[in-house]
Chain A
Amino acid sequence: MAIQPQFYLLLSAGVFCAGLFGVLTRSNALMFLMSVELMLNAANINFVAFSFYYGNVTGQVFSLFVMGLAAAEVAVGIGIILVLYRNFGDIDVTGPVTMRR
């Protein structure tokens, strides 16, 4: 007996909300990055769940793509955080607002 898809959706929504909560409340850039990863993986859960449900592997392929993309994004993100630290001595994202205008 397979697990009903709505449970996957609930799990994915929960993970996504956790990620969103992190993005909205944290000011540490690393925490930011992790929260974004959570949101991405929430999407991945959906991909895999529906792929399983419909018996179509396209969704699983997509989730692999998203993982690869996430890895690349982390690499860029860490790079940005390093530069941020070098220039501002801190990785607080609310601090640097000089690009505002």
Chain B
Amino acid sequence: MVLVEGLIGVTLVSAFAVIFAPDRYAGKLATGLSLIPLAGSLFMYANFAGSGNALLGGDLAYETTVTWFEVGGYGLNWHVGVDGISLPLLVLTTILTTLALVSSWTPIDDRESQFYGLMLLLEVALIGVFTALDFFLWFVFWEGVLIPMYFLIGVWGGPRRKYAAIKFLVYTNVASLIMFIGLFALVFGLGDSLTSLDIPAIAQGVRGGELGALAGVQPETLKLGAFLAMFAGFAVKVPVVPFHTWLPDAHVEAPTPVSVVLAGVLLKMGTYALLRFNFTMLADVARDLALPIAAIGVLSVIYGAMLALAQRDLKRVVAYSSISSMGYVVLGLVAFTPHGMGGATFQMISHGLISGLMFMAVGVIYNASHTRMVGDMSGMADRMPWTVGIFVAAAFGYMGLPLMSGFAAEVLVFIGSFQSTVIPFATVLTALAMFGIVVVAGYLLWAMQRTLFGSYSLETDYEVGRAPVHDVAPLAVLLVLVITLGVAPDLFYAMIQDAVDPLLGGGV
């Protein structure tokens, strides 16, 4: 099967086609072309026949392995494929990209062809991150995400865009470096037993106890060091407190569609990598460190929510609450229970959809009012009833309202982490993390009451009318998806559970 290559190739060609297209058609062209990878990923979903975990000898779908070249005794392979964890994320990427492209039609009115081209390049790299199974290849895509993102924030962003873009790039790049060192410590520790940088091979080697001493460092210490380095590296991407400060800046400065992809997909790269590397390769270290990791997760939930409470900029509110929501993912992953890890993975998808929806909704209101500040506007419901209706629904989704995907994800995480025997004091920590659902309701309801309800007023000199259909349509699509996944989580959750299950087994 060459479907993954097809997705990447078609998107790459589309990206260049759009860059050289005239500005006038770029938006529509990019959206149209992005339907191809979307259709492709849905086709992959419909015909998915894989089972088990990709790293632990599971049956991969759409797998290809081609040796690319050899360097330093390691074969670098083009090895791609998907399992039940990566396929939902792949579908999320293609869906969100298409919707983000539609939502750019209104706000982006400068250098359109370059903007849309970069968005498609970003999609290429993201598809690569979620499908690549060779470390070299994966790292190329991982770093490749940064470049279009840097320009998207730095060129089309708000007033402090340069600061935000450089902060984003440097912060995440330094993190990648630390992670890279950590992984290579493992690769060299495996020594001659490893003949390629194949991620499953590394994972199985490390889990199989083939790790030797490296430069006088014992395997156990080596594992701990590698775990900490990789955790620090991915923690920046997630982000978990206290490595989160690049996120609000990046979100506030980025244009809406970029925020959508940033919150919806980029953050999931961090938790995806955490799941693949830290919690699969080094599961035994993760179990030993369960208490501090769970504590960091709980801290992210509560601290992020408290920060969201103090913000006046709607985008900052959503940005900080993303930190809060990603804390649930960390908590769920470290639980090492079926619903904990499965729920955490499902939360990645769910949060991707809901946070994307929230950012888009804020963006639609911003397009009309040109302000995002709570207090600069009120009674928007009077002027944009459908937009506000979807905004309210999205906010309740964020609060974890039942029958929406956020509830399914959160309740699964809570069940999983509450009954975890890996985390010490699991019940207390889970109960603490659950308090996040009260705080999130507090700040979202507060922000909604101040901006959407009450009598209509606006501080800026713009006339607010109903939003154009192409602004609201992506919102409606996302809302439908959120509700669908809330009513039928098994659409994704079944395959996620199947892929997560091998991680829970004994041995390590």
A and B touch in the complex (CB under 8 A): no
Residues of chain B at the chain A interface (Cβ within 8 Å) = none
